[in-house]
Every structure is written in structure tokens, then in C-alpha cells.
Amino acid sequence: IVLTQSPATLSLSPGERATLSCRASQSVSSYLAWYQQKPGQAPRLLIYEVSNRATGIPARFSGSGSGTDFTLTISSLEPEDFAVYYCQQCSNWPRTFGPGTKVDIK
């Protein structure tokens, strides 16, 4: 299953709303997660099963969608949210990731 993410880069200011998209080449049902990665760090699980926040993830992060189209929303960007975000499916083997969306400071 191929995952595509858009946009490749999102330039926003702190306090703004970020909307990231992930599209699957075939249905992944609800088996979709989102990860955040900052430079020099390992990725961190944010959202699993489309809309469930992982432990310790702030409520400003939310996920939605089903089937082939999914969205990660950051309601109000904090300085620490500027990073690369990946979606990942676990509906089928092999597990696959999207190419990522970089959220940078405008």
C-alpha cells in the first residue's frame, strides 16, 4: 500500500492551524497512525487507529478519516510542533510510511 502525503512542506506561524493530509492507494480501514520526527531524534507516535492520541500527546493534535483519506490537524501550533510528520498504515504487510510533511516556521 502506497501512502502519499500533502503538502510536502507547510509553512505556518505559531498559533496557526495545521492540516496535513495522507492518502492511501487502497483502503487501510482504520489502521493508520501519525508520527512526529524532529531533527536528530527518533520518530514519536502521535496518533494511532486514525484518531486515538498516544500517551502524553497534547489535545491540540487530532486525527480523522477512514478508508483512503486521512487528516492530522494541529489546532494551534506551538514552537515545539515544527517538525516532520509521517503517516503509516498497518492494514497490510509490508507496513508502509508516507514520505512525510515538513511543518516549518513561516
Partner 1 sequence: EVLLVESGGGLVQPGGSLRLSCAASGFSFSNSGLNWVRQAPGKGLEWVSFTSASGASIYYADSVKGRFTISRDMSKNTLFLQMNSLRAEDTAIYYCVKHFQWGYFDFWGQGTLVTVSS
Site string for partner 1, 8-37 (x = CB under 8 A): -----------------------x-x-x-x
Q: How far is the CB of 15 from partner 1 (least distance, A)?
A: 28
Task: Note whether 43 binds partner 1 by CB under 8 A.
Answer: yes
Task: Note whether 100 binds partner 1 by CB under 8 A.
Answer: yes
Q: How far is the CB of 77 from partner 1 (least distance, A)?
A: 22
Q: How far apart are the first and last CA of the chain?
A: 33
Per the CB < 8 A criterion, the answer to whether 41 and 98 are in contact is no
Per the CB < 8 A criterion, the answer to whether 89 and 36 are in contact is no
Instruction: Name the residue nearer to partner 1 (CB basis): 35 or 70.
Output: 35
How do beta strands 18-24 and 32-37 pair? unpaired
